[in-house]
Amino acid sequence: MTTDAPAQHENEPHQQDGYSDRINRLRAGVLGANDGIVSVAAVVVGVAGATTETGPVLAAGIAAVVGGAISMALGEFVSVSSARDSQTALIAKERRELTESPEDELAELAAIYRGKGLSDETSQRVAEELTEHDALAAHLEAELHIDEREVLKPWQAARASGLAFLLGAVLPMFAITVPPIDVRIPITFAATLLALALTGALGARLGGSAWLRPTVRVVVGGAIALIVTFAIGALLGTTIV
């Protein structure tokens, strides 16, 4: 007699090492690209609303790309570093407690499983078997929902966010500088909103949710940003000598 392997539902990656780390990087990349698209497009459209000269638009766009990429990478590094420090401190604390009071920790682990509905006998047995296999991993997962193998990586997150911002910024830069002056603003609007629709749908797909609502939300937000910055630029262009 053969025993079939447990069935796994589609899009539910059980026991895949590094899965959450990979999916979080992808989501951060989508968000970084989204920021690059919106922020740079808003800057260049705003300046283009104030002047028809290409030089100021290009200079403002380059400044927005460089400053935005650095800001995105630095912000991600600081944020992830803080989260990593917290994770590292919790892991060290748990390791110390397991060394100093293993019996108390075993009782605590059993109590966690009793709280999830297991009987006293089953909870104790589960706690003992998990402790024998890997006590630290068992406590990190049950108490803190942390996987020691997937501690956050600040430099990796910073590189991914900065690069994603740069990639997202390429589109509005080309859209505002390559077409003829009389059509560059509507082309930039159209290209930006299309790119936002794609990133919104991709982000929803990565999150496992329906794509329509988050896509519409992203596109509407981007359209508002473009309209407001263009209006301000046009107003300043007609009022400032």
Is there a contact between 25 and 163 (Cβ–Cβ < 8 Å)?
no
Q: According to the model, what pLDDT value does residue 2 have?
A: 45
Phi-psi region of 19 (alpha: psi -120 to 50; beta: other; left: phi over 0): alpha
Q: According to the model, what pLDDT value does residue 23 have?
A: 65
Residue 64 has pLDDT above 60, yes or no: yes
3-class SS string, 77-93: HHHHHHHHHHHHHHHHH
pLDDT tens digit string along 79-100? 889 988 988 898 899 889 888 8
Neighbouring residues of 28: CB distance < 8 A, sequence distance ≥ 6:
76, 157, 160, 161, 164
Burial environment of residue 127 by CB neighbours within 10 A (0 to 12, 13 to 18, 19 or more): buried
CA dist 129 and 72 (Å) reads 45
pLDDT tens digit string along 194-233? 999 998 888 778 777 788 888 899 999 999 999 999 999 9
CA dist 11 and 137 (Å) reads 25
Neighbouring residues of 205: CB distance < 8 A, sequence distance ≥ 6:
211
pLDDT above 90 as % of the chain: 35
Six token digits for residue 196 = 């936002």
Residue 180 has pLDDT above 50, yes or no: yes
Work out the angle at residue 109's Cα, subtended by the Cα atoms of residues 122 and 90, and round it to the nearest 5 degrees: 155
Q: According to the model, what pLDDT value does residue 65 have?
A: 95
The pLDDT mean for the chain works out to 84
Q: According to the model, what pLDDT value does residue 15 have?
A: 45
